[in-house]
Amino acid sequence: MRLKVVPEDFFVEEQIRFPPGGGPYALYRIRKREITTLEVQARLAQMLRLPLSAVSFPALKDRDAVAVQYATVRGTGPDYLSGPEFTAQRVGRISRPLTPSDLVGNRFVATVRDLSLSEADRLGGRLRVAAEEGIPNYFDAQRFGSRTESGDFPGRRILRRDAEGALRAILAEPMVGDPADVRAFKREAALRWGQWRMLLEIAPRPSNLRSVLTFLCDHPTDFRRALNLVTPRVLSLYLTAYQSFLWNRIAAGYLQARLGPPSGFVEVSGEMIPLFPHLSTRLTADVTVPLPHHRAAYGDPLLAKVVEEVLRAEELALSDLKPRLLRRAYLPRRERPLVLRPADASASPPAPDERFPGQQKVTLTFTLPPGSYATLVVRSLLAAGEE
């Protein structure tokens, strides 16, 4: 099975509940290809000569896809903007910036390639079963771009109050999502840790890392204040990545404790996570599981036991899940549905795959709620049926 062989194989469009119109914010419909949402945000701000905070997106979308999403710009903007990898069409004015709460879902069209004829024949049926019975609502690999190659997370070190360790992860340890120039800098930083002036000279431009290094030149061991110079949104991404990793382990442990042995496994960021058939029938009710947080309440004794075991394995307790090192970044407090059911799901008939001669392709179409992952759905459909 191959997904995202070319960006056009994976299309996603946001479904938005728009605020009242006629206000001081320009609303843009963005179409992007092979560029991250954060990169589009930065380019729009630069083109409009506005601070980054004046351009707001309600959600982030994959680089390796074609995505249609919405953004707001404070003030007046032109009818049309474009760059090498995106276009932005102004479609109206609204009363306030878009926020994550305005996103009601995402519509996906995913072409799955390099399938055998038997795999292709079964895929549509499995999607229908998933729509009826559900699959575990795990976070997928896109959430874990800040995981280091050693398997650790900056967020974990922050919660363990290890400011220097968190900075080492950020400045000197390659992460899954790092571009080539950042990886090259991190190799040097690992060899020359503490040589702040030299590292400042070779740090990528532009980069928030430079403000951190400038501070360390004058305060070489004040790692806590240096850590707080990292952009708050980036720090929040580090925290939520680790929080999501913990949630996946909690959800997997809880399902296994309730339902017994799994029917298969799906790989997520180097971990094999269990799958279970007929979730809606076996759980009998919609179950939500709080994201790990120092104020989270786990009323189900079995769930509370699993949470304690997962945190103990990470050398943490529930009370540690507050980023006391940080001033402006926090762990979100909310609940996540344990079961995911794709809506409005359909599958094309198998067709010859022009990119992999002798193999088949199938196009899957479905809608997911915010925060759920189409890539996980597709891989789960295949993994659940392996024999």
DSSP notation for 321-369: -S-TT-SS------EEESEE--EEEEEPPPEE-TTSTT-EEEEEEEEE-
Rounded to 10 degrees, the C-alpha dihedral 112/114/120/122 comes to -80
The CATH code of the domain that includes 83 is 3.30.70.3160
Question: Which amino acid appears at position 78 of this protein?
Answer: P
**Which residues span the domain enclosing 31?**
20-97
Rounded to 10 degrees, the C-alpha dihedral 365/368/374/376 comes to -130
pLDDT digits (tens, 9 = 90+) for 26-81: 999 999 999 999 899 999 999 999 999 999 999 989 888 999 999 999 998 899 99
In a domain, 210, yes or no: no
In a domain, 357, yes or no: no
Is the model's pLDDT at 306 over the cut of 70? yes
In a domain, 41, yes or no: yes
Average pLDDT over residues 107-115: 97
In a domain, 32, yes or no: yes
Is the model's pLDDT at 385 over the cut of 70? no
Structural contact between residues 87 and 80, judged by C-beta atoms closer than 8 angstroms: yes
Residue 212's contacts (CB-CB under 8 Å, 6 or more residues apart) are 167, 170, 171, 226, 227, 229, 230
Task: State how many domains the chain has.
Answer: 1
Report the pLDDT value the prediction gives residue 384, as an integer from 0 to 100: 67
pTM of full prediction above 0.95: no
In a domain, 28, yes or no: yes
What residues pair up with 111 in beta bridges, in sequence order? 363
Residue 191's contacts (CB-CB under 8 Å, 6 or more residues apart) are none
Distance CA 243, CA 300 (A): 20
Report the pLDDT value the prediction gives residue 387, as an integer from 0 to 100: 39
Question: Which amino acid appears at position 51 of this protein?
Answer: P
In a domain, 343, yes or no: no
7 DSSP assignment: G
| Cα angle 359, 364, 370; round to 5 | 140
Report the pLDDT value the prediction gives residue 62, as an integer from 0 to 100: 84
59 DSSP assignment: S
Structural contact between residues 323 and 224, judged by C-beta atoms closer than 8 angstroms: no
